[in-house]
């Protein structure tokens, strides 16, 4: 198990559409373990494989208070979404420090495989439903800021690029 670097917006690799997982094998189980470690280390509640530059349809989620109820979704598909929508403030491990309102369905039904390759169906509402929709967007190459106005999106892009430049300058300095 290892921590993986998380891609930061506006990295173009975040817009890559993920391909289906061909087999749930030891490689995928190791990837799931790495993703869970990475998500927990970053204090996130969800992580898509696309965010760590692995473009396969795999998502891990844990919205529990104790951070001990991981959900693994391999090749997930939303098969139903409620017509009722809610505006919720979202953040993203790939868009650090940025939070904004995104409208999503209040409930979804998703079909996927679990970490053992067994089919599962999850009926989700509330924060879990929102998290599933957010993470599945990543598998389609979409980052939550794309739901925002072009003005907001450009401000966020400018701010994050400046932070990345400043961090690069700081890492080049030596300290005594």
Q: Kindly report, residue by residue over 81-113, the tens digit of the pLDDT.
A: 999 999 999 999 999 999 999 999 999 999 999
pLDDT at 174 over 50: no
Distance (Å, rounded) from C-alpha 43 to C-alpha 161? Answer: 22
pTM of the model: 0.94
* Nearest Cα residue to 58 out of 113, 116, 129: 113
Beta strands in 82-133 (DSSP E): 85-92, 95-105, 107-113, 119-125
Domain ranges of the chain: 12-175
Q: Kindly give, in sequence order, each residue whose CB lies less than 8 Å from that of residue 12, ignoring residues fewer than 6 positions away.
A: none
Residue 170's pLDDT band, with cuts at 50, 70 and 90, is confident
Flag whether 131 is marked binding. no
Has 138 been labeled as part of a binding site? yes
How large a percentage of the chain has pLDDT more than 70?
A: 97
Counting every residue, how long is the chain?
A: 176
Distance in angstroms (rounded) separating the CA atoms of residues 21 and 55: 9
Residue 103 backbone phi and psi in degrees, to 5: -90, 130
| Mean of pLDDT over the chain | 95
Task: Quote the CA–CA distance of 85 and 105 in Å, as a whole number.
Answer: 4
Res 176: pLDDT:
45
Residue 175: per-residue pLDDT: 42
| Domain 12-175 in CATH 3.90.45.10 | yes
Average pLDDT over residues 48-76: 98
Kindly list the catalytic residues: 135
Query: Known binder of ligand: residue 55?
Result: no
Average pLDDT over residues 131-137: 98
């Amino acid at each position: 198990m290892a921590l993986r670097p998380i891609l930061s917006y506006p990295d173009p690799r975040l817009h890559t559409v993920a391909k289906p997982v061909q087999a749930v094998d030891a490689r995928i189980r190791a990837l799931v373990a790495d993703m869970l470690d990475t998500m927990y280390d970053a204090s996130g509640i969800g992580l898509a494989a696309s965010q760590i530059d692995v473009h396969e349809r795999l998502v891990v989620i844990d919205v529990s208070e104790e951070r001990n109820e991981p959900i693994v979704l391999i090749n997930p598909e939303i098969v139903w979404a409620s017509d009722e929508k809610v505006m919720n403030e979202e953040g993203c491990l790939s868009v650090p420090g940025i939070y904004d309102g995104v409208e999503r369905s209040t409930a979804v039904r998703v079909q996927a495989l679990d970490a053992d390759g067994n089919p599962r169906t999850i009926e989700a509402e509330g924060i879990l439903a929102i998290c599933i929709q957010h993470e599945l967007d990543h598998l389609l190459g979409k980052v939550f800021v794309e739901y925002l106005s072009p003005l907001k999106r450009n401000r966020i892009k400018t701010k994050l690029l400046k932070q990345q430049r400043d961090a690069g300058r700081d890492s080049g300095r030596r300290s005594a």
